[in-house]
Amino acid sequence: MTSASYDMAGPPARDLWLHHPEIGDMSFDAFERLPSNPLFIGKPPYEWPVNGFLLRDPVSQNLYVYIGVYAKGYWGEASYCHLMRSRDNGVTWDDLGPLLRGTTDLFDSCDGVPGSTPDVSVVYDNGIYHMIYDWGRHTSDPARKDGGFAYAWSRSPEGPFERAPEPCFAQSNQPLVFGLYRMAYAAALVKRAHDWLVISDMSTLHNQGGTWALVAFTAKHPQGPYCGPHFLLWPQTSVFYPTTVESFPVFPHAGYLYAPNTSVARNRTYQVIYRAPIEEAHRAEAWEVYQNGSVWHAEAEDNEAWGIWGQTFSAEVEADGTMWAMYACKNSQDRGTINIARRPWLQPYKHGGVLSAPQGPALSLLQRDYTIFELQAVLRAMGAWGLIWQHNGPLGPDKPMGAEGGPHPLTLADCCELRLDASYWELRRVDAAGAITTVAVGALPPDIGGAVARIGLRQRADSFTLELNGALLWQGAWQAQRGSIGFIAEAGGRLWLDELRLSNAGEPARRFLLPTEGVMGYGQLGDTWQFRNSSDFKFGFGYTSAQADAGCKWCWSGGGFTLWSPLAPEYGDAELWVDGELAAVLDFSAPNAPSAPRYVRELARGYHAAALLHKSGVLPCDSLYVSL
């Protein structure tokens, strides 16, 4: 085959790939792991050390990792903070043992049982190491549960830390916000010019989860009292904020505060980083998307078998331009592992992408459409994988709310696919409903296995040619159709895309975002929405809600959109908000009519969100057709 000219495996092409919390993320991140990984592995009864905070001590220049250690499932034993130290820049590590535990004589105690004190952040200032830490009562009695964050201090990063007699925040004193949020946790301390800032996650009562917000608290002194919460980033708005993600901890650099957010879907490899000027970081308007996707990937080592776990990575950017990151994972034995990586701050990307699928299938697509093209790819894989093209499936998660989501079955459909496993290859078509038709199948040449696979693919209007490692695999009559090109890695697998070259740049793609994407995007829980199986919806299903506070929201990176919806007599009015502004009031009340375009809006390319908010009657949630 002739040489293709467009390089789609290099850093300049990274934002041509779909980055999605539940579907998948082809990452071009330049992080390199340290040989000392893992630094720490959980063991009974504390199987889950799955959070942590990285500190470069400005006095000793030692590296410290403050580890949040939990029992499996976050319950069973009271959690605590454990300390590791490196005096040789991460080459070797000393285990300094438990640093902070609950007591029987402070606010975390319940019935004489010490509480939990797992996740901490530490800031050095004027000879004092100031700590903000999570606390919680260790009880199964809902009436007596409580938790939040508190303050402690020491003259050494190794402690002992003296705890303040009262907490900075207790959920028992926090009124419900937006009908959802009450528990602040995973708190990070930041020193500003004239005050102190705590950036924390906020979730439902007792952190039962399902929807997560990033909030700020401010105080004149690190021990408080703190004013807040000031909501910064949360799903129940009409601005871009991919769901579902959690953050902890933030890190400062060069006048900005950076907040990495990690997906809590089955594959926790998608990340989005927001940032704000430090002195303005208590204001929601100050935060912007700094890096959407292509931030992180999960290696194929056992200590990263489940991918990144806990909240996200903890980072320090040093004067020489090195970004250090502490990250928690889980291994194949479901034990937490604590690890270190680093990369140049100003060189966040490298050539070659990684698609990680630790716990479920992962899909990443080029957000361009191709009809007539030639493709050359060089890749390595662990586990079953597929190259797909002519993809026109809608995009969205397989569930409408909460954690542990994955790609919807329809997202994995409506495409052609070359599927490779350990011993065979299969060329197949997958129709819009997911039914598979095998075009050809055969034994995999013995030189493939886990080694490099070189794929050549030529699609013409009426013919198709496929080569593998320079040998002709299949050719024949073919009907070319327009669609996206991408890759899928099956559960437990990894795919390393070393090269991908295409003969043309393709054309802008437009795709539907599913109803699950809309309901998930607004982060509402419980019985707010009811599932509807009906041909009146674009894809045969949708959701409806009569609740006064109901809303649905779609987030995407691209251009304009068309809102699709059915009509029905019981439906009512809804406000359509786009990127933080009211765009229209739409009336869905009419004689029954199937889904069709109801509103069209052109937008400049960027990060966008469209939210439908209940105003009267029943609110339908169908699909959004977006320009990628």
> pLDDT digits over 169-189, tens only?
999 999 999 999 999 999 999
Distance of CA 350 to the CA centre of its chain: 20
Q: According to the model, what pLDDT value does residue 209 have?
A: 84
CB 294 within 8 A of CB 28: yes
Query: Who has greater pLDDT, 509 or 526?
Result: 509
Higher pLDDT, 311 or 103: 103
Q: In what order do the strands lie in the sheet with 510-513?
A: 510-513, 623-627, 561-567, 593-601
Which pLDDT score, from 0 to 100, does residue 151 have? Answer: 98
The answer to whether the beta carbons of residues 628 and 394 sit under 8 Å apart is no
Q: Which of 196-200, 290-294, 322-326, 422-426 is predicted with the least confidence, judged by mean pLDDT?
A: 422-426
Strand partners, 262: 246, 271
Alpha-carbon gap, residue 50 to 43, rounded angstroms:
12
- The share of the chain scoring above pLDDT 70, in percent, equals 98
Mean pLDDT of 309-317: 93
pLDDT at 448 over 70: no
pLDDT tens digit sequence for 572-589: 999 999 999 999 999 999
Residue 538 has pLDDT above 70, yes or no: yes
Q: For residue 522, what is the enclosing H or E element?
A: helix 515-522
Whether 502 shows a pLDDT value over 60: the answer reads yes
75-91 pLDDT tens trace:
889 999 999 999 999 99
pLDDT band, residue 398 (cuts 50/70/90): very high
In whole angstroms, what is the distance from residue 587 CA to residue 322 CA? 54
Q: Is the confidence at residue 1, as pLDDT, over 90?
A: no
Residue type for 184, please? A
- pLDDT, mean over the chain: 96
> What's the rounded Cα separation, in Å, for the pair 302 and 120?
27
pLDDT of residue 3: 61
DSSP-derived secondary structure for 26-80: EEEE--EE-TT--SEE-BTTB-EEEEEEEEE-TTT--EEEEEEEE-GGG-SS--E
User: How confident is the model at residue 2, as a pLDDT?
Assistant: 60
Confidence (pLDDT) at 438? 96
- Write the CB contacts of 140 (distance below 8 Å, at least 6 apart in sequence): none
Instruction: With cut-offs at 50, 70 and 90, classify the pLDDT of residue 206.
Output: confident
Cβ within 8 Å of residue 158, ≥6 positions away: 64, 83, 85, 96, 99
- Both tokens of residue 302? 């056992």
Q: Which helix (H) or strand (E) is 520 found in, with range?
A: helix 515-522
Domains of the chain: 6-22+371-507 (2.60.120.560), 31-347 (2.115.10.20), 511-627 (2.60.120.260)
Please calculate the CA angle 134-139-145 and round it to the nearest 5 degrees.
Answer: 60
